[in-house]
Amino acid sequence: MKSKVISAIVLAALLLPGIDVAAQDDWANLKRYEKANSEVTVRPKAVFMGDSITQGWYETDSEFFIDHNFLCRGISGQTTSHMLVRMRKDVVNLHPKYLVILAGTNDIAKNNGYIELDDIFGNIVSMCEIAKANKIKPVICSVLPAKRYTWRPEVTGCADSIIRLNSMLREYASEKGIMYVDYHTPLKDAENGLPEKWSKDGVHLNAAGYDVIEAIILNALK
C-alpha cells in the first residue's frame, strides 16, 4: 500500500502544470541537437563529442568549427554514459569522417554517481567500436588536467584519476591503431592541474586554452 501511495504522489507531481514529463524522460538529452542534426546537408569532416568543455569550445570560437566543417555535439554536465546513448543520433546518422571524443572528466567528478575508471574507459571504447563499425574514424582525446572540481569539492584524487584514465586510453589507442590526441601534457601545471593562464576555474578552458587544443587537433586531422 505504501509503495502505491508513493507512486501516486510521484505521478501526480509529474503531471503538475509547468512540468515537462518528456523533458524529464530525456536523460541523455537526445533532443538537444535534434533540429541541428536534421539540418545537416553536407558530410561533416568531424563530429566533436563531449561535455561542457566541448560545448564551451563552440560558444567561445564557433568559427573554428564552421571554417573546418566540424560539428559540435557537446552537452554541459554529461558523462560518458550519456554520450554513449547519443552516439547514433549525434554521430552515426551524420556520417562524419572522424569522431573526436573528449570525455570522462564528469565521470571522475561523479556527476552521475560513482563509476569505476574501467567503466569510464569501457564507455569510450564502446563509442570507438560503434564509430568503427560505421566506417567513422575515432579520435580519442586525453582528459584535460584538473586538480579539483569546484562543484564537487568532496571528490579527491582527481588529477591522479585523470592520469590513470589517460594512460588506459593511450594504451588502447596504440593497440587498436586509433589516433590518440594528447591535450593533457601541454596544458598541465607542475601539480597536474589546469593553470589560470588556460582556465577560468581549473577545469574549463578560456580562449587561450582553446587556442592550444585547436592547434593540436588541427594538426592531428590534417
8-state DSSP, 46: E
Give the C-alpha separation, 14 to 129, whole Å. Answer: 37
Per-residue pLDDT for 9 more than 80?
no
Q: Is residue 10 part of a domain?
A: no
Q: Average pLDDT over the chain, rounded to whole?
A: 91
- 3-state SS class at 100: strand
Centroid of chain to Cα 118? 17
Residue 85: C-alpha distances to residues 18, 67, 72, 95, 206 (Å): 27, 28, 16, 17, 28
Give the C-alpha separation, 161 to 219, whole Å. Answer: 27
Per-residue pLDDT for 117 more than 90?
yes
- Owner of C-alpha cell 582527481: 158
Taking residues 161-190, what's their average pLDDT? Answer: 98
Per-residue pLDDT for 1 more than 60?
no
Per-residue pLDDT for 5 more than 90?
no
Q: Is residue 19 part of a domain?
A: no
Domain that residue 199 falls in: 32-221
Give the C-alpha separation, 45 to 140, whole Å. Answer: 16
- Owner of C-alpha cell 592550444: 212
Q: Which of 163, 164, 162, 175 is nearest to 128 (CA)?
A: 175
Tell me which amino acid residue 55 is. Q
Task: List the 179-181 sheet strands across, edge first.
Answer: 70-74, 46-50, 98-102, 137-141, 179-181
Q: Is residue 53 part of a domain?
A: yes
Q: For residue 221, name the pLDDT band (cuts at 50, 70, 90).
A: very high
Give the C-alpha separation, 13 to 16, whole Å. Answer: 5
Domains held by the chain: number = 1
Per-residue pLDDT for 156 more than 80?
yes
Per-residue pLDDT for 213 more than 90?
yes
Q: Which pLDDT score is estimated for 27?
A: 94
Q: Is residue 79 part of a domain?
A: yes
List pLDDT tens digits, range 138-153: 999 999 999 999 999 9
Strand intervals (E) in 57-170: 70-74, 98-102, 137-141
Sequence-distant contacts of 30-37: CB under 8 A, at least 24 apart: 30/85, 30/86, 30/89, 32/75, 33/73, 33/89, 33/90, 34/89, 36/71, 37/89, 37/90, 37/93, 37/94
Give the C-alpha separation, 177 to 21, whole Å. Answer: 43
Q: For residue 25, name the pLDDT band (cuts at 50, 70, 90).
A: confident
Q: Is residue 51 part of a domain?
A: yes
Q: Which pLDDT score is estimated for 6?
A: 37
Taking residues 158-184, what's their average pLDDT? Answer: 98
List pLDDT tens digits, range 36-94: 999 999 999 999 999 999 999 999 999 999 999 999 999 999 999 999 999 999 999 99
Specify the CATH number for the domain of residue 43. Answer: 3.40.50.1110
Per-residue pLDDT for 7 more than 50?
no
Q: Is residue 75 part of a domain?
A: yes
Q: Is residue 62 part of a domain?
A: yes
